[in-house]
Chain A
């Protein structure tokens, strides 16, 4: 499929990368020549300099042959106009990044539908949601949720003296009420494998476990982590992400304090966030953090627009004693660095956004896709149709491609973590983890 990506920033780059890896014919459009130069030297995609809001430029990008337009510049207006221009071409799915909260609260006179947008994605809101899910499950590096949370795939570091360390998956299964969880991927150093029963888990591994909600606690214990509940969260920054995040906390009756450096922004947020305590101050100021009692909060979340500020304030908060620290990292190069210096989780908006976009790319047979951090793989949920030949056979007899594994099944109202002798049925929603190299072959098992 031909895909036109408007915007060569972090979000556009990442989306283009994922789609190019899946052998789509991608062209990236941007006005900034230096960004395009970077894209061109790193990805197997075409680039075109010009405004994505210009009909002539989109024509040049051969929009008429495209099946998908992804408009993800930093400017809502450009993205909306770009979709609007593409409206005359039929059969193109148009996805626009729209970050202004006003569009989601019905305040605006301009509804995205008037621009011909099929899907609006909001990286800031996605990021706030991801951060919240992560904090709820302490110790989780990443969480992907399927079937409204009935099946969750959680990334956990295996602690050296935990029950899982040193045992094979079969041994672990024998020692627990294992029917509610399955390990779908193991990362050791740079090596990522989809494990088998004989795979031995070691301390320091990052594993992703698909679990039913009642088994989250058991999965955490297995990896040596404790479950904790959130009561009090401190947020550094007054960004859009911070706004969405504070709103989520309020909805869950969790107390939030925001430290906002710009007074005008602080005032704006104080008016819009009814429950949160908004204080004017610099989150990198050690004394301020100490006085605000950051050592006593359940979590400190750094969500300013500056990566450097985020990393610095997160480090200070961690040092003073915040139980959990989450850092927003915009520049992807910083993510590994943030981890190396001991920050618990680094969330990057590009991944959140790419996740949101990819769920729609293969719409039809695929109902949802979640990229799993650090694995080069993704969890995909497929609807099993009568055209698939794998229905009615025990899982163990199905030839799933190397690098893939069934993580869960949703049948009617019931979520199941299947075993080898379980059969898939037509109408099931099947959640499969697949490494990037296996995605295509897995998709063939699930014709629309």
Chain B
């Protein structure tokens, strides 16, 4: 299983518009290309997950994730906000890079945890923020992913 197989250029946004935690979640959701109703439902779910504990794992990275039946297979998105956003991350520092993961409640192939694990590994590389900051177009994100994750 390769992370690259789950990402496409459409799901990469290097210039998120939102300036609050809530708006950032909406931006990320928008990258999945769902209908309005599904977007609203997913937004509610992600907010609920964040209320149980922020998915900001520190060092400028957040991995909002949840299961929801608005998708029928595992979906991911990457977003960057160069100025950073307050996300109640565990280190109380602003978050710049966001990885969204949404999986259906019942998955035959059970990819949710492997993908979450792989993204966490990718995002915990010590120089990853520098690398992500350098990106100028979505294709470069996919190349970085290919280079850094097995």
* CB <8 Å contact, B90 and A267: yes
Q: Which of B63-77 contact A (CB under 8 A)?
A: 63, 65-67
Q: How many inter-chain residue pairs (CB < 8 Å) link A and B?
A: 70
| B110 contacts partner chain A, Cβ-Cβ < 8 Å | yes
Closest to B66 in A: A291
Which of B6-14, B32-40, B49-57 binds A?
Answer: B49-57
For chain A, give the interface size range.
Answer: 20 to 34
Closest to A266 in B: B90
Closest to A277 in B: B120
| B138 contacts partner chain A, Cβ-Cβ < 8 Å | no
Closest to A287 in B: B52
Q: A270-B57, A279-B55, A282-B53 are in contact. Are A255 and B117 (CB under 8 A)?
A: yes
Residues of B within 8 A of A288 (CB): 49, 52-53
Residues of A within 8 A of B126 (CB): 274
* CB <8 Å contact, A274 and B124: yes
* CB <8 Å contact, A277 and B117: yes
- Taken together as a complex, chains A and B put the C-alpha atoms of A293 and B106 apart, in Å, by 10
- Taken together as a complex, chains A and B put the C-alpha atoms of A252 and B87 apart, in Å, by 32
Q: A255-B117, A266-B90, A275-B121 are in contact. Are A291 and B52 (CB under 8 A)?
A: yes
Residues of A within 8 A of B103 (CB): 293
* CB <8 Å contact, B91 and A270: yes
* CB <8 Å contact, A291 and B90: no
Residues of A within 8 A of B116 (CB): 257, 277, 293
Residues of A within 8 A of B57 (CB): 270, 277-279
Q: A232-B113, A275-B124 are in contact. Are A291 and B49 (CB under 8 A)?
A: yes
- A255-B121, A277-B63 given; name 13 further pairs at CB < 8 Å: A232-B114, A257-B117, A259-B53, A267-B91, A270-B90, A278-B90, A280-B90, A282-B52, A285-B52, A287-B52, A291-B66, A293-B103, A296-B112
Query: Nearest 9 A-B pairs (CB), nearest first?
Result: A281-B53, A277-B120, A255-B117, A280-B53, A266-B90, A288-B52, A267-B90, A270-B58, A267-B91
Measuring CB to CB, which residues of chain A are less than 8 angstroms from any residue of chain B? 232, 255, 257, 259, 263, 266-267, 270-271, 274-282, 285, 287-288, 290-291, 293, 296-297
Can you sample 9 A-B contacts with CB below 8 Å? A232-B113, A263-B90, A267-B90, A267-B92, A275-B121, A275-B124, A277-B116, A277-B117, A291-B67
